[in-house]
Amino acid sequence: MNLDWSVVWQYRGALAEGALMTVVLSLATMVVAIPGGILLALMRLSRSRIASTASACFVEFFRNLPILLLVYWAYYVMPVALDLRLSGFVTGLVALSLNVSAYNAETFRAGIGSLRKGQMEAAMALGMSRWQAMREVILPQASRRVLPVLASTWVSLFKDTSLVSVIAVGELAYTAMRIRSQTFRVLEMLTAMAAIYWALGYPQAKLTDWLNRRFGVTE
Amino acid sequence: MDLDLTSITDNWRYLANGLGLTLLLSLATVAGSLVVGGAVGLARCYGPAWLRWPLVFYIDSMRAIPVLVVLVWSYFALPIVTGWSLPPFWAAFVALTLHIAAYVAEIVRAGITSIRPGQTRAALALGMSRRQAVIQIVLPQTIIRMLPAFGSIISIAIKDTAIAAVIAVPEYMKQSETVAGQTFRPIEVFTCAMLVYFLILFPVTRLIDMAYLRVAHLGRS
């Protein structure tokens, strides 16, 4: 077994770009999925039967699908069904956002649900509208409780972006596997890929633990 | 857009074989990760102190590395290191088990720490050995409290088996890809796959939740 680790250093630029793409894709997904999750949670909790059923169906459906399948579906089916032409990045973004929005919706719903009913009633007794009470009383408190869960979702999302590599989006996993097939340095590249993910993900996992201790609600 | 379901009906046997393998791989993964994760979680809580930090390191590393990376590594890189190569199915089993066991270990630890320490102390005060206290007092409550989390582990395992398609395990995802490619009917095939996965996953999560509601009172203390 002869190993040549210099290949990792040689391709450092491409790997760094891939890692950057992974971060950008995760960020972009969260930017879509947090408002998406809030919207779905508010729909679920609204008094309109239609809105709440629609939100429940969306959440249950997209929570119960493998992300890889969503990625394929967004790649092969969505452009034809909706007559759209999207880049690989946007396709991946759509697939991940559908999944993460569904998870975030449940997170926000649980966060809002964890506040006692009296808070809403008190706010309304003070003359606030339902929407005002939601915005000024409920959501600020819920967001604190939601933070640790969102952090866990973020860590999962960060890892799940690797699945977008199957539709040739140039993030870290795709880049590393492409270099692997160009150089035939299989062990070196795959280990480097794992090490980079580890170096990026480990601090995030630890930060999540800290957020959980700091903000987590224990009964 | 015209739909043509013959791509699915003509290949139903091929797809059904894939589905069978998906279920088999899920079952094996769940069983494997319960055993490994249970052992790791228990060792972390009750094991010797020197064992603790390697276990924490293992758990946190698995939380940081994507399952795809573990999978690809164990299929392509492990043979280079060890000299023996695993067939795709077993590589997937090993990788998924390694990955999910870390989550199971965290669930076990969370379950054990959720039982108030006073209970163990009371058991010890009654003259039970430490082993007896764990087996007869702590674990029975822990297992019930862990049920909802195990439900999500099963659902995660089934979803993650789809990733095994990347190393060409002929499970349902891979078979769907093949059929979609051969018949040029990705819309029908992938939409069908969505329904199939949903119809498996949704009842599983619901059944576990319902089972939990029936036994939840046993876990209260």
- Domain count for chain A, please give it: 1
Q: Which of B65, B189, B198 to mutate to test the interface with A (most CBs of A within 10 A)?
A: B65
If contacts are CB pairs under 8 Å, which of residues 1-20 in chain B contact chain A?
1
Q: What is the DSSP string of A112-167?
A: HHTS-HHHHHHHHHTT--HHHHIIIIIHHHHHHHHHHHHHHHHHHHHHHGGGGGGG
A219 domain residue, yes or no? no
What pLDDT is recorded for position A197? 94
The reported pLDDT for the residue numbered B156 is 93
CA dihedral (A118, A121, A127, A130) in degrees, to 10, reads 120
Residue B13 inside a domain? The answer is: no
| pLDDT number for residue A207 | 92
Q: Would you state the pLDDT for residue B99?
A: 95
Asked whether residue B12 is assigned to any structural domain, the reply reads no
Question: What is the predicted pLDDT for the residue at B1?
Answer: 60
Residue B10 lies in a domain: no
Which residue of A67, A81, A198 is in closest CB contact with B1?
A: A81
Q: Do A66 and B160 count as a contact with CB atoms less than 8 A apart? A: yes
Q: How many CB atoms lie within 10 A of CB A170?
A: 19
Q: Which of B3, B19, B61, B63 to mutate to test the interface with A (most CBs of A within 10 A)?
A: B63
Q: For residue A26, what are the domain limits?
A: 6-213
Low-confidence ranges of chain A (pLDDT < 70): 1, 216-219
Is A34 within 8 Å of A102 (Cβ atoms)? no
Q: What is the pTM of this model?
A: 0.88
Q: Do B194 and A73 touch (CB under 8 A)?
A: yes
Residues A65, B201: contact at Cβ < 8 Å?
yes
CB contact B149 to A (< 8 Å): no
Q: Evaluate whether A70 touches A99 at the Cβ level (below 8 Å).
A: yes
For residue A184, the model assigns a pLDDT of: 85
Smallest CA–CA separation between A55 and chain B, in Å?
16
* Residue of A65, A165, A197 lying closest to B65 (CB–CB): A197
* CATH code for position B189: 1.10.3720.10
Q: What is the pLDDT of residue B5?
A: 82
Q: Test B77 with A186 for CB contact under 8 angstroms.
A: yes
Based on the structure, what is the number of domains in chain B? 1
In chain A, the N- to C-terminal Cα span, in Å, equals 55
Cβ-based contacts of B168 with chain A (< 8 Å): none
Chain-chain contact of A76 with B194 (C-beta, under 8 angstroms): no
Distance CA A40, CA B87 (A): 43
ipTM over 0.90: no
Write down the pLDDT at residue B147.
Answer: 87
Domain that holds residue B35: 25-219
Q: For B1, which residue in chain A has the nearest alpha carbon?
A: A81
Instruction: Identify whether B16 is part of a domain.
Output: no
Residues of chain B predicted below pLDDT 70:
1, 221
pLDDT attached to residue A219: 45
pLDDT at A10: 87
CA gap A51, A92 in Å, rounded:
27
Pairs of CB atoms within 8 A across A/B: 116
**Testing the interface with A: which of B57, B58, B72 to mutate, by most A Cβ within 10 A?**
B72
Contacts (Cβ under 8 Å, ≥6 apart) of B200: B23, B158
* Residue A1 falls inside a structural domain: no
Q: Which of A67, A81, A162 sits opposite B69 (nearest CB)?
A: A162
**Residue A30 covered by a domain:** yes
Residue A218's pLDDT is 53
The candidate with the shortest Cα–Cα distance to B201, out of A65, A142, A105, A135, is A65
What residues contact residue B24 under an 8 Å CB cut-off, 6+ apart?
none
To 10 degrees, what angle do helices A49-63 and A88-113 make?
120
pLDDT at A217: 61
Residue B207 near chain A (CB below 8 Å): no
User: For residue B221, what pLDDT is reported?
Assistant: 66
In this prediction, residue B66 carries a pLDDT of: 95
A128: CATH: 1.10.3720.10
Does B146 map to a domain?
A: yes
Measured between CA atoms, the residue of chain A closest to residue B74 is A190
**Residue partners of A146: CB distance under 8 A and separation at least 6:** A107, A108, A110, A111
> In 10 A of CB B112, how many CB atoms?
21
